[in-house]
Copies of this chain bind each other. A is one copy, B any other.
Amino acid sequence: LFGASNMDQEKKTIEEIGEFGFIRSIMEKCLYSPESVIQGIGDDCAVIGPYGPYEGKVLLITTDLLIEDIHFLMGKITPRELGAKAVAVNLSDIAAMGGTARHIFVSLAMPRGMAMDTMEEVYAGMKDLCRRYGVNLLGGDTSSSPRGLFINVTVMGEAAEEEVLYRKGASPGDLIYVTGTLGDAAAGLKLLKGELPAPGDLRDVLVAAHNRPEPRLEAGRLVAQSRLASAMIDISDGLLADLHHICEESKVGAQILQERVPVSRELSSLCKANDLNAFHMALSGGEDYQLLFTVPKKNAESIERQIKQQGHPPFRIGKITAEEGVRLVSPHGTDGEITQRGFDHFPPPAR
């Protein structure tokens, strides 16, 4: 029974093992009808196929939880922004596979005393995103919550099987790109928490990066349709953490050129004024929801040109290496392996 197990001090807790350790432990023996499964646990989405009336289409499915006091703070985000963000972070996983989002399913657990118009605003925010990306809200579940608001969104999308990009496709020599500036959302969170001072206009931009992330569906489609990239992931846990996922699944390493990591003018100003290192925020800050993708060297010029034509110039930040581990090259040439990983929902306890 739960009570009894929790009282047993000898047993390891989830906290000690960490989120990724826990996920690894449950990844065993999950397939009991594997025939239609192209990708199970271990990427941004599961992939099932064939799907639909067209030859070669596959289904993409992903699910994400947003929990009050863990993923968001009441009073620091409007209900409408919260609803939109709950959908955006899921659509971002579809973008990361190169797919098109189609349907969402929403489970909500809410405190009994919550105002009706607050919840209507949460749904209005969800539907804002649905409208913008042509996505249907097809179902869900609602319940009261003993404490705090819980939102779980499941999204289904589709893609041509040949175009889907996984975490596992990167090879040594491939170039690494990101679709936009990094670290803004993490800085926005610090501002929301009152940890830093900032002038109003700077604050607005960075807080919006945190509270109103935009899924990079169009960019993801462009990369996938080009058929020139080798792997892709969305940057939800931070550049280092998500690059590490690519490296682990592809059994490679990576080298990042510090001066190439794109940082916004706003983040740069904020960090200068507060004597902080913008680069560190860009490396480890989570929730940017830009895409990271890798491209074989021979395809680099062609994919850069194609994406630039659509008004989304990507940033080349480094390359994939045969040697495992992520290494950092600073402008002064110093070079060291990075151990900092980004955001873990169950970080090991501080020693």
A102 at the interface (CB under 8 A from B): yes
* Contact A75 B137, CB 8 Å, known A116-B13, A142-B19, A346-B144: no
Once bound together, how far apart are the Cα atoms of A306 and B61, in whole Å?
37
Once bound together, how far apart are the Cα atoms of A215 and B206, in whole Å?
48
319-351 of chain A: CB within 8 A of chain B? 345-346
Chain B residues with CB under 8 Å of A16's CB are 116
A68 nearest CB across to chain B (Å): 7
Q: Which residue of chain B has the shortest Cβ distance to A63 in the bound complex? A: B105
86-120 of chain A: CB within 8 A of chain B? 102-103, 105, 107, 109-110, 112-120
Once bound together, how far apart are the Cα atoms of A19 and B52, in whole Å?
34
A111 nearest CB across to chain B (Å): 8
Inter-subunit contact B139/A67 (CB<8 Å): no
A193 at the interface (CB under 8 A from B): no
Residue in B13, B75, B112 whose beta carbon sits within 8 Å of that of A346 in the complex: B112
A42 nearest CB across to chain B (Å): 8
A173 at the interface (CB under 8 A from B): no
A35 nearest CB across to chain B (Å): 10
Inter-subunit contact A40/B139 (CB<8 Å): yes
A311 at the interface (CB under 8 A from B): no
Inter-subunit contact A31/B136 (CB<8 Å): yes
Inter-subunit contact B14/A135 (CB<8 Å): no
Chain B residues with CB under 8 Å of A120's CB are 25-26
Inter-subunit contact A152/B65 (CB<8 Å): yes
Chain B residues with CB under 8 Å of A112's CB are 13-15, 346
Provide the main secondary structure of the chain A interface.
Answer: mixed
A303 at the interface (CB under 8 A from B): no
Inter-subunit contact A115/B22 (CB<8 Å): no
A150 at the interface (CB under 8 A from B): yes
29-52 of chain A: CB within 8 A of chain B? 29-34, 36-37, 40-41, 45-46, 48, 50-52
Inter-subunit contact A46/B134 (CB<8 Å): no
Chain B residues with CB under 8 Å of A156's CB are 48, 61
Q: Which residue of chain B has the shortest Cβ distance to A11 in the bound complex? A: B115
Segment touching B, from A1-9, A267-275, A293-301: A1-9
Segment touching B, from A123-131, A226-234, A237-245, A257-265: A123-131
Chain B residues with CB under 8 Å of A19's CB are 142-143
Interfacial residues, chain A to chain B (CB-CB below 8 A): 1-6, 8, 11-17, 19, 22-23, 25-26, 29-34, 36-37, 40-41, 45-46, 48, 50-53, 59, 61-65, 67-71, 74-75, 77-79, 102-103, 105, 107, 109-110, 112-121, 123, 127, 130-131, 133-150, 152, 154, 156, 345-346
